[in-house]
Structure 1
């Protein structure tokens, strides 16, 4: 693709789709190839600020919504409104709203889960997929609650299951501190000792985050102060429901061209068996048309290693874009 001198300003708008209002940040030419950027937990469209600028400067149309439950998008009160079918439905409805038949999709963390399932459920709407941090795992043989139980009550996903529990624990801290605790997670932080809430166990970095300014942290905190954490936590509370709903796709493969980018110190590389899954060929067997890039960094990679991630994404998209 031909480069453009500048990607222009970020434009903000909302769309009524799939029964919710989605706030979308957009940058780049409106007639450029569309790239849908799906953020993770606990983040916002802002997580993609570096990628949006780089994509726009190369002539892509970068589209970064606040997922339902986050930021300036709707936050339904019913946990059942946060299944993976709702989340994929939001993405499809947004594409319909924009009259975009097929899209490049990039997802991080929970956004990667949505991106992988968009490919699984509606491969006709996806040109390529880039996942960050969370690979596509096939549907487990047993419900997620059974798998969580083996990790004990201190495991963060176990604590997130009970409505109100994590919210009550989070409320003991100011919102910026809660966010900074999550953004500072290390490999051994995912399970607290018995009787300890995970947010109390997480250690906030004693120094400023090198990849986020205080102003940017304040922008995140302002939105989470307004919208709260219940919507984002409901994603975790629907994991067993997702297991039931995705039964028809058991053992199905991701068939669209895919790239996976992960930090070598990402919590998922060790804690969830990601490294073994990649190296054993399990990932490739479930996503046959796959490239993998393991780079220096941790979990919030698109912010921590923005230039490297931008280069990885752009080089991959260039293969599927007409010159």
Structure 2
């Protein structure tokens, strides 16, 4: 087993909590978590990648765990989240790297590939596909498509509302999101409903997460609460405005995309999944059977096999 190292990096005006493993001379592979996760969501990938000779770097993303969680909503804009990782790569002297992201970590990985075509040699994304920059802010499209109906992203928009609900019983909130994401996010209900209305008051842990592992997720969210993570969702218009220079750009690097066939996000992003190959010419994509949203934990053996095979061919250690 490779020892797990931990550092607090002062980068991009914030503190980035970073876990690392594997040979220091190995090719860097960054694993970027999503919502509402933490660095530990990648624990089943760290050792296999390190054993293959890679230098594995797993940050606690802005707003999570021991990383900074600034107050301002604009401090969670997508390009700012990318800049955290770019600055960390600079600090560590990394002239080239691979980035792999899950859930919200996937848009960060996709955009790092766009921003850094020379440094990012290969990339991977899980659950959230690449759709390019829309013709107008996605939040406007969501408001039109969901008029009169509940939509979790629209619910997250008003500062103070969703975090008040989720932080009131963090244990229940996190259990529900990790065990039954589809029911929490996609249940048909009125527009003025709350996220967790109608869900279990005493949810069980998902089969892939025992009590000791859940405690790690819980600690990471309890550090700052849900405010910072929710602020990622409150920048759709700002992200659209700030990425005008990336409009029409393709992902030129070799790219791996994995999605579970039971993932509710796959239903939401069905159109994007169909057209993604046009935007990512060197794309390899796989749909994993009997697998939901928390793909790297639900199906670790399949994820590791696909990821290691891809890296061996496109980004050798």
Shift of 1:68: 0.7
So what's the TM-score if we normalise by structure 2?
0.94
Aligned to 1:285: 278
| CA separation of 1:285 and 1:321: change in aligned 2, threshold 3 A | closer
2:146 to 143, 151, 159: 151
Q: Unmatched 5+ residue regions in structure 1?
A: 1-5
Aligned to 2:239: 242
Aligned to 2:175: 180
| CA separation of 1:233 and 1:322: change in aligned 2, threshold 3 A | closer
8 Å CA contact 1:189–1:201 kept in 2: the answer is no
Counterpart of 2:58 in 1: which secondary structure? strand
Aligned to 1:170: 166
8 Å CA contact 2:258–2:288 kept in 1: the answer is yes
Counterpart of 2:99 in 1: which secondary structure? strand
Aligned to 1:265: 262
Counterpart of 1:70 in 2: which secondary structure? coil
Counterpart of 1:316 in 2: which secondary structure? helix
Q: Unmatched 5+ residue regions in structure 2?
A: none
Whole-Å Cα distance in 2 between the matches of residues 15 and 78 of structure 1?
A: 21
Whole-Å Cα distance in 2 between the matches of residues 205 and 137 of structure 1?
A: 37
Cα deviation, 1:244-271, whole Å, max 9, x if unaligned, reads: 1111211111111101001001112112
8 Å CA contact 1:82–1:234 kept in 2: the answer is yes
Cα deviation, 1:81-123, whole Å, max 9, x if unaligned, reads: 1111101111110100110111011100110000000011111
Equivalences for residues 26-37 of structure 1 within 5 A:
26-37=20-31
Query: Does residue 99 of structure 1 match 2:93?
Result: yes
8 Å CA contact 2:76–2:235 kept in 1: the answer is yes
The count of corresponding residues between Structure 1 and Structure 2 is: 312
2:36 to 30, 39, 42: 42
Shift of 1:65: 0.3
**Residue range with higher mean Cα deviation, 69-78 or 202-211:** 202-211
Shift of 1:168: 1.2
RMSD: 1.6
Whole-Å Cα distance in 2 between the matches of residues 100 and 199 of structure 1?
A: 42
Shift of 1:272: 2.5
1:233 to 230, 234, 249: 230
Shift of 1:172: 3.2
Shift of 1:48: 0.6
| CA separation of 1:311 and 1:145: change in aligned 2, threshold 3 A | same
